[in-house]
């Protein structure tokens, strides 16, 4: 297995864990996600950005008072 394949698989697992965590608490913070999943906050930010670009996740409201919405379909 190539090193870049490993990082892609890890990123997919992290994304799944993020979606699972958000489905049980849509107001979870990035630091809370990082601690829960066991990765850096930067890793969470990258994964959230990718999920948003793929249309799987949306941020509703402000950074402080908003929440995450998992998009279906």
**Structure confidence at residue 23 (pLDDT):** 96
Residue 33: CB partners within 8 Å, gap ≥ 6? 18, 21, 22, 44
Distance CA 73, CA 71 (A): 7
Q: What is the pTM of this model?
A: 0.85
Residue 2 backbone dihedrals phi, psi, to 5 degrees: -80, 155
Domains of the chain, earliest start first: 3-70 (1.10.10.10)
5-61 pLDDT, tens digit each? 777 787 789 999 999 999 999 999 999 999 999 999 999 999 999 999 999 999 999
Taking the alpha carbons at both ends of the chain, their separation in whole angstroms is 32
Q: With H, G, I as helix, E, B as strand and everything else as coil, classify residue 61.
A: coil
**Structure confidence at residue 15 (pLDDT):** 95
């Amino acid at each position: 297995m190539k090193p870049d394949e490993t990082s892609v698989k890890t990123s997919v697992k992290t994304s799944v864990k993020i979606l699972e965590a958000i489905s049980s608490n849509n107001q979870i913070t990035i630091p809370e996600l990082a601690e829960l999943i066991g990765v850096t906050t930067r890793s969470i930010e990258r994964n959230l950005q990718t999920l948003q670009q793929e249309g799987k996740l949306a941020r509703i409201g402000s950074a402080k008072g908003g929440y995450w919405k998992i998009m279906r379909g």
